[in-house]
């Protein structure tokens, strides 16, 4: 499910390193990569929130389900970046209802 879009004018590849650095300074377990797409995975135990460009040309905040970890990531991102947060999470094209 998509919870938010980051709103920035840079190409996603140009903002990737800054975004990884910001997220890594606030969460203890972060994995990331940039190869064709930008992806950042933020873990809290078994919970994972992704910030990626897999289905968009801008970074989107995604998770399999809503919860405290998603909200924490959104709150931290909003302290530095402009986000378009959806009232109801949107399904990605491959997700079933």
pTM: 0.91
The pLDDT assigned to 96 comes to 57
CB 7 within 8 A of CB 58: yes
The pLDDT assigned to 94 comes to 61
Over 80: is that where the pLDDT of 12 sits? yes
| 4: CB partners within 8 A, 6+ apart | 60, 61, 74, 77, 83, 84, 85, 86
Q: What is the pLDDT of residues 81-95, one digit of tens each?
A: 999 999 999 987 665
* Mean pLDDT of the 6-17 span: 92
Q: What is the mean pLDDT of the chain?
A: 93
Using DSSP bridges, classify how beta strands 47-52 and 37-44 pair: parallel, antiparallel or unpaired: antiparallel
């Amino acid at each position: 499910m998509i919870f938010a879009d980051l709103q920035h004018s840079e190409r996603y590849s140009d903002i990737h390193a800054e975004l990884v650095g910001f997220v890594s300074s606030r969460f203890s377990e972060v994995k990331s990569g940039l190869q064709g797409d930008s992806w950042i995975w933020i873990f809290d135990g078994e919970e994972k929130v992704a910030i990626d460009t897999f289905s968009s040309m801008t970074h989107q905040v995604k998770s399999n389900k809503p919860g405290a970890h998603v909200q924490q990531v959104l709150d931290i991102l909003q302290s530095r970046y402009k986000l378009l947060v959806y009232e109801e999470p949107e399904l990605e094209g491959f997700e079933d209802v």
